[in-house]
Structure 1
Amino acid sequence: MQYTRTVEALKEGTVIDHLPAGQGLRILSLFKLADTGERVTVGLNLSSRHMGAKDIIKVENIALTEEQANELALFAPRATVNVIENFEVVKKHQLELPETIEGIFDCPNSNCISHGEPVKSFFYVKPTVNDTKMKCKYCEKVFSKDIVAEVK
């Protein structure tokens, strides 16, 4: 099988590659990557020699920090996050599950004080055997990462 590039090269920005197939749109939404005002290219169900199928997200003119990249590890622990400058990879983030996540997800507990006060949400991240749990700093309730991600 011959390998062909199916997504245009990026001059400046961030490439989030090797996302599990079907996770690209979820990550685009959860991390508000489409709200940057910059051009975003999303490839879904692309062929991959290692994964069979994968998703990819390219965001122009935005360089994700290591902290932002690690937050992706909740949903795509084997993803690669590359910062691009002048068509060259200048930084490869090695993803590690963060110990805390602030200001990205809302607490699923509708009675949590984080909904009525001007505070950023804050979760402690605890990996378990079959899931990753997130404990709200304010109400101290523990949720599966998937439940936290579904709250809008």
Structure 2
Amino acid sequence: MVEKKKLQVEAISTGTVIDHIPAGQGIKILRQLQLLGTDLRITVGFNLPSKELGMKDIIKVENRLFDEAEASELGLFAPKATINVIEDYSVRGKFKMSVPEQLESVFECPNSNCITHNEPVQSFFTLKQRENDIQMKCKYCEKSFSKDIVAGL
């Protein structure tokens, strides 16, 4: 008997596909990239089977190509995710995510006494992987926080 493969998520003609997202992180990515509440056509799959991860999430955004800055934010939530740029139903570009070394102007420092809350300076964090967490150190107040605290999760 021949085993048929069935697409669990519909193909898109043009746009971006974020694949290999650890299960449960997809909603965080949708929030962080401010994709919820837009008029973009977005297809999301949660807890799909994955050979590598066991279970994964996937996000497909039609007619929108992510830039590198947006992609670097994803590395915080899904460091092993893959970004696929789709044109005419074919993958035209593909790159893997990784935890960025630094993030600028993406998150506010959770320290209410940090200068970034009272002065016109952009936030700046250096990132370090520690066991099962990513620590983010503010350039200005020099305090370190878990990524979940900085991202408000």
Check conservation: 2:45, 2:57, Cα contact below 8 A: yes
Q: Which residue of structure 1 aligns with residue 8 of structure 2?
A: 6
Check conservation: 1:22, 1:44, Cα contact below 8 A: yes
State the shift of 1:48 in Å: 2.3
Q: Which residue of structure 2 aligns with residue 81 of structure 1?
A: 83
Q: Matches of 1:48 and 1:2 in 2, distance apart?
A: 17
Q: Per-residue displacement from partner, 1:49-73 (whole Å, max 9, x unpaired)?
A: 3322211111122212334323312
Moved beyond 4 Å, runs of 4+: none
Q: Which residue of structure 2 aligns with residue 44 of structure 1?
A: 46
Q: Matches of 2:17 and 2:132 in 1, distance apart?
A: 28
Check conservation: 1:12, 1:86, Cα contact below 8 A: yes
Q: Matches of 1:150 and 1:79 in 2, distance apart?
A: 21
Q: Which has the larger radius of gyration?
A: 2
Q: Matches of 1:37 and 1:115 in 2, distance apart?
A: 32
Q: Matches of 1:75 and 1:26 in 2, distance apart?
A: 8
Q: Per-residue displacement from partner, 1:21-47 (whole Å, max 9, x unpaired)?
A: 111101111222336542222111122
State the shift of 1:86 in Å: 1.5
* SS of alignment partner, residue 70 of structure 1: helix
Alignment of 1:50-89 (within 5 A): 50-89=52-91
What's the RMSD between the two structures over aligned residues?
2.0
Q: Matches of 1:34 and 1:89 in 2, distance apart?
A: 25
Identity of aligned residues (%): 57
Give the one of 123, 138, 141 matched to 1:139. 141
- Normalised to the residue count of structure 1, the TM-score between the two structures is 0.86
* Change beyond 3 A, Cα 1:36–1:117: farther
User: How many residues get paired?
Assistant: 151
Q: Matches of 1:35 and 1:121 in 2, distance apart?
A: 26
Check conservation: 2:20, 2:57, Cα contact below 8 A: yes
Check conservation: 1:13, 1:60, Cα contact below 8 A: yes
Q: Matches of 1:114 and 1:40 in 2, distance apart?
A: 34
- Normalised to the residue count of structure 2, the TM-score between the two structures is 0.85
Check conservation: 1:17, 1:55, Cα contact below 8 A: yes
* SS of alignment partner, residue 64 of structure 1: coil
Q: Which residue of structure 2 aligns with residue 15 of structure 1?
A: 17
